[in-house]
Amino acid sequence: AQKVTQAQTEISVVEKEDVTLDCVYETRDTTYYLFWYKQPPSGELVFLIRRNSFDEQNEISGRYSWNFQKSTSSFNFTITASQVVDSAVYFCALISNAGNMLTFGGGTRLMVKP
Amino acid sequence: DTAVSQTPKYLVTQMGNDKSIKCEQNLGHDTMYWYKQDSKKFLKIMFSYNNKELIINETVPNRFSPKSPDKAHLNLHINSLELGDSAVYFCASSQDTGATTDTQYFGPGTRLTVL
């Protein structure tokens, strides 16, 4: 069975603060893929990143960075110098080679105030 | 040049009615999905189709019937709508030629309200 936990249901920060969204996952499979999606107030789901279980290298894309640690089964997402446009619900998700379903965490609502 | 599109974006209807939501992808992907997002934002898969064949059916009531006329389309028909069907329904697609773990790209969602 697969499970994704996003313990932070809601985070509020002031613009320009850094913020980290936590994601902890459970799977028995050794080959799996982790994802982050963004759901802005307009409602669509936007793909941000995909990571496979054999690649623990951290990734940076502009103000976004991701920290994958197999030892703690975590795939955390950091936004540096947050902006109001970052306000959204962010979802972490997992799929494994053995399973065939993308399992989502409950989402973290990020509010960035000016 | 929309990748995954859904119509309608909003659907308001009475209990007991039958309604359909259409989904089309122009990415050339082999697999398409329907997800339901409830009022608490929880996302759960309902169905997936690979090349017009049903792959996943996640204990969804049989009032929900997906139909895939070709691999670029996956429509969702719902009979006898109930209040609990109110949600946002997302269509998605992924390449999945051989692998089932490719990135899924989502449509804009259809907000269904049953009165």
pLDDT digits (tens, 9 = 90+) for B51-97: 878 887 777 899 999 999 998 999 999 999 999 999 999 999 998 75
Chain A touched by B90 (CB under 8 Å): yes
Contact criterion met (CB below 8 Å) for A109 and A98: no
- Confidence bin at B44 (pLDDT 50/70/90): very high
Q: For residue A65, what are its two tokens?
A: 């960075």
Pairwise CB contact (< 8 Å): B103 & A97: no
Contact B41 A47 (CB under 8 A): no
Give residue B74's Cα distance to chain centre.
7
Q: Is the pLDDT of residue B36 over 80?
A: yes
How would you write the pLDDT of chain A (114 residues) with one tens digit per residue?
889 999 999 999 999 999 999 999 999 999 999 999 999 999 999 999 999 999 888 889 999 999 999 999 999 999 999 999 999 999 999 998 776 789 999 999 999 999
Q: What gap in Å lies between CA A110 and CA A8, rounded to an integer?
A: 9
